[in-house]
Structure 1
């Protein structure tokens, strides 16, 4: 698999939007607004990390990371996602490559840590785990995980950017 991971470029924006739509089209727990979320994060300067996976000149995956707010006032925390991989390329490790690359880039920003909302079995492979003291309102605790680059884990409620409410 000749996958190259790189930062998004201006010429990638339409391909990222199309990819994100396709990736979540049949996803069980999707709002089908993920492409709006990515665009809104980008348009509001909140897309801190935006990396693509390219195979044979075609974008086959994308990962986004944006800042989150924690009620305790802890700073330097970010949220992973959305993560998109073309349906026909899912299960081939592209998502894993993107997550590793995104977390490494985040560490370069001297981030304190990262949170993710998703399948705990999948994200635990990257070091994410549940911390009862760090939570997302109205979400079962098992599905909200964090990874700290520098201890300790902060306490409090996490709030994602307003862009995550985008519907268009």
Structure 2
């Protein structure tokens, strides 16, 4: 399996939406709006990082990163979401490749850190940890995790862009 990770291109947008929908179709924890969120982030100019994974020139994965706001006023923080892999390709390391590439790109951008809402065991493998002083309203603290690149982790409430409310 040879996977190529690259920035999204205009011609990838429809395939990214289809891939994202398929990746979350049977996920219990999903709002099933992830493809709309990615499109809305793009439309609002908030898709800081959008990487695709290709196998034999076919799109098999995607990761999106966007800026977040922290009530303490700290800047340079981003949120991961979503990360998608075609169901038939899940469990083959594609998500790991996308995750590592996204975190590397954030560090190249001199980001302070990244937050993620998701499974602690999965994201913990990449260095994410729960830090209750940095929280997402109405979310159990163990599922909201943080990785800091440069300095201490800020305290306060994290707010994602309004695009995360997209339903179509």
Shift of residue 101, structure 1, vs aligned partner: 0.2
Q: Hey, what does 1:26 align to over in structure 2?
A: 26
Q: How far has the Cα of 1:145 moved from its partner?
A: 0.3
Deviation at 1:132, TM superposition (A): 1.4
Residue-by-residue CA offset, 1:9-43 (whole Å, 9 max, x unaligned):
00100110100010000011111100000000001
Q: Whole-Å Cα distance in 2 between the matches of residues 125 and 81 of structure 1? A: 17
Deviations 1:91-143 (A, max 9, x none): 11100100000011111111000000000000000000011110000000000
For residues 3-152 of structure 1, the aligned pairs below 5 Å read 3-152=3-152
Deviations 1:39-65 (A, max 9, x none): 000011000000000000100000000
1:145-164 → structure 2 map (5 Å cutoff): 145-164=145-164
Q: Structure 1 residue runs of 4+, over 4 Å off?
A: none
Q: How many residues align?
A: 168
- 1:126 partner SS: coil
| Alpha-carbon distance in structure 2 between the residues aligned to 1:117 and 1:31 | 13
- Gap runs ≥5 in structure 1: none
Q: Following the alignment from structure 2 to structure 1, what is the Cα–Cα distance between the partners of residues 105 and 114?
A: 12
Task: Report the equivalent of 1:165.
Answer: 165
Q: Which runs of 5+ in 2 are unaligned?
A: none
Q: Name the TM-score, length of structure 1 as normaliser.
A: 0.99
